Structure 1
């Protein structure tokens, strides 16, 4: 075992709302918390707190509180921030839903989470209404935050909630056990599962990363990472606001808008995923914008190639950092400090690593074949093994799935990440590969089992397997191996279209290969390694 080299931090027994907002300095109340690039609205910390409390009061007046789950389906905006913190402030649990989901996907998550209310926006109303009807959520309990048109008639909107004037409720719960959020993750494999994260989990992760990320109140932080994703939720909606920084909120990624926002708002801190790094390193459009305000870029959600990160750093003259985490870890478990490590260790961490374990955590690297711990190196790199993490940011488990929980968190409290890693003699962790079968497309999780189950419903498909392969841009994409039913002439384009009609865009199959038989073990498990070849 090896512990974080950083000093332990204090983790108060507080709710997310209390940790974020009860000690706001008077000087910070009129500081801008959120700027919407779509429309230009500014929200101060005073206004944010008032709206969060009003939203919590309105939800409580509708019977929402401790023990209830509320779905939140929306792109990034200040309305999302208010709704999210309003749900938590009311004592309810928020299950954030991918804004790209189909009605089927939305209904599936709402059902599993047992949500009784859904909050959305007008652009996503058709699929939200269909999903609500499917799970039995009434029109009164489908709230359309920006709703003021004919399509949203019959649904409350944000103004209705704020105008209600109901006081924020007095809620009583144990932050260590009460669920704050239920994001959905495929974990190590399989279909999405509800990740049970308590108020303490989220507060702990904010406290763990604050001294490392060193966000300041004078920072302008680009908020383009989806708030519904645990990365954007913890780093932006929680940690950045706790630092009293200003979030400049983009509803979606567009390179021209992204670069213009950095230039026009003088962004100082950017959190991105690797596909954005590709554009920053290679796209000629970057040279047309002033990026000089940036001091730090941190990449997460998927591994960042070291050469790519170095290219971004040189082109923009900016510090590029990398972190590692997963929904089950709230999510940040490893990170480079904002100075790269110079102050703490005398040298910056190499970009091929994900930095050091965050404070208050302990790691193991374990041989997956023998279950024995791999020795910490006296010099150089250790042997590779599965990374295990223990700390206050470890989830309490998967909702309604004790078997998956037990398989992921052992009796000593270590979460088995499913990632193959090494550690060097300076305590820096290097992610080598994934033991798990999950595909990560542009930071989004794509479970092969979900696509395989869908493909098997096609009448011309007798068997199938899906794996992740690398495309020409270095991005991991889903590839389907398909066994055609005899006598049919199913084409690759038909397979791709069949899947695309029924899943969110990032889950689409992007390559297809027809084969005679899917390789399987004696127990019937797909031998994915046999499908991985230079031509696959």
Structure 2
């Protein structure tokens, strides 16, 4: 077993709201908390807290409280912070929905999460209304932040001037959020994260990630994703930084916002690193304000990290985690120039890890020098989820009786506690940081009348990034090409779930029990 080299930190037994804002110094209340990257409009900490309290009061007046689940379908705009923390402040549970989801995918999540309310914005209203109708959420329970006829708006709710409710719950047991994750395989499942989980992970990050008061942080990573939720929406605010929001990634706009708002920390996923290393547009903008670029959500190649660091004259770090761990478990400290940038760094405070042989379950020995043999990475700490919502079977597969979370990722560890992810046991594909479950795409493929069988794995594109690749067996005499396969899938899934590569084969390799042998497909 490997323990974090950092001292344990105290995990306060408080709600997320009290932890983030309860001890905010009077002198910091008028500092900037949020900047709308598009318009430049600023929100102070004083204004943000007031809006959170008013929103919580308006929800409470409508019966929202402990036990209520509220869906949030919204891009990164300053109002997201108000409604997200307002939901938690009211004692309810937020289930954040991918802004790219189709109406059916939104409905599936709302149904599974047993959400009674949905919050969205007018550009996403068509999908939100269709999903709400499908699951039985009435128009008065569908809040449209920027206003739409027949629905409550944020202005309406804040304008009621209601006092935030007094709520009581056990932070270690009460669910703060229900993000959705595929875990190591299968369809997305609701990850039960408590107030303690989220408070713990922010507390743990503070000793490793040196983001501080006065920094300006680019928030382009979606808040609905656990990385954006914890590291930006919670951690950056706890550090009293200013969050500069971007509703979606567009390279030109990204560069303009960084240059204009002089952001100092930029949290990214690896595809953005590819652009920063290679795109000619980079040279047209003053990016000298950037001190640290921190990558997560998918593996970052060491050479790519070095290329970005050299081109922008900044520090590039990466970390590791999962939705099931709130998410951060490992990080490279910005000040540690000696840590290999292709590694995921070291364990954060209060975290333990084991590497086990996938075949025997025996622990891999940590050597006195150099790196260990590979083994499946297991994690234990206060950031580990309570379990999957209504899925005791899936929970038991992922989380053992001793509290060890089986990540499905294969890692090595050095004698001085530096971890490197080298392979994966899990079937999950990470496309631009988004989870893509092969089983979901395989089901869509098999609906095509010209496809006899299919399997999906993660494959590398020309930039070394993972993309979904389909292996397809045609029906006898079927006239089917790769473009038709990709178009069929694209018509039924969110953009990040599209199949990007197709290979036709004679048969899908399977075990005696009928399980797809993905390892054989990866070996082709």
TM-score strictly above 0.5: yes
Please give the alpha-carbon distance, in whole angstroms, between the structure 2 residues aligned to 1:467 and 1:28. 49
CA offset digits 1:306-363 (Å, max 9, x no partner): 00001111111111111000000000000111312xxxxxx62111211100100111
**How many Å apart are 1:500 and its aligned residue?**
0.5
User: Is there any run of 5+ residues in structure 1 with no aligned partner, and where?
Assistant: 341-346
Matched, 1:20 2:5: no
Matched, 1:375 2:365: yes
| Native 8 Å contact 2:207 2:349 kept in 1 | no
Moved more, 283-292 or 86-95: 283-292
Instruction: Report 1:249-260 matches (<5 A).
Output: 249-260=245-256
Please give the alpha-carbon distance, in whole angstroms, between the structure 2 residues aligned to 1:512 and 1:419. 25
Q: 1:230 aligns with which of 214, 219, 226?
A: 226
Please give the alpha-carbon distance, in whole angstroms, between the structure 1 residues aligned to 2:268 and 2:475. 43
Matched, 1:162 2:152: no
Task: Tell me what 1:176 maps to.
Answer: 172
Task: Tell me what 1:305 maps to.
Answer: 301
Moved more, 99-108 or 215-224: 215-224
The residue matched to 1:416 in structure 2 has which SS? strand
Matched, 1:466 2:443: no
| Native 8 Å contact 2:472 2:503 kept in 1 | yes
Instruction: Report 1:132-531 matches (<5 A).
Output: 132-147=132-147, 152-340=148-336, 348-531=338-521
Aligned length: 524
The residue matched to 2:35 in structure 1 has which SS? strand
CA offset digits 1:420-450 (Å, max 9, x no partner): 0000011111110111011111111100001
CA offset digits 1:357-407 (Å, max 9, x no partner): 010011101001100000111000000000001000000000010011011
Please give the alpha-carbon distance, in whole angstroms, between the structure 1 residues aligned to 2:285 and 2:502. 39
**How many Å apart are 1:491 and its aligned residue?**
2.5
Please give the alpha-carbon distance, in whole angstroms, between the structure 2 residues aligned to 1:429 and 1:312. 22
**How many Å apart are 1:215 and its aligned residue?**
1.6
Please give the alpha-carbon distance, in whole angstroms, between the structure 1 residues aligned to 2:39 and 2:505. 52
CA offset digits 1:202-245 (Å, max 9, x no partner): 00000000121122111011111100000000001000000111
The residue matched to 1:526 in structure 2 has which SS? coil
**How many Å apart are 1:263 and its aligned residue?**
1.2
Instruction: Report 1:59-98 matches (<5 A).
Output: 59-98=59-98
Matched, 1:5 2:1: no
Task: Tell me what 1:52 maps to.
Answer: 52
Task: Tell me what 1:129 maps to.
Answer: 129
The residue matched to 2:64 in structure 1 has which SS? coil
Please give the alpha-carbon distance, in whole angstroms, between the structure 1 residues aligned to 2:22 and 2:342. 39
Please give the alpha-carbon distance, in whole angstroms, between the structure 2 residues aligned to 1:264 and 1:133. 42
| Native 8 Å contact 2:6 2:207 kept in 1 | no
| Native 8 Å contact 2:106 2:131 kept in 1 | yes
TM-score (norm 1): 0.97
User: Is there any run of 5+ residues in structure 2 with no aligned partner, and where?
Assistant: none
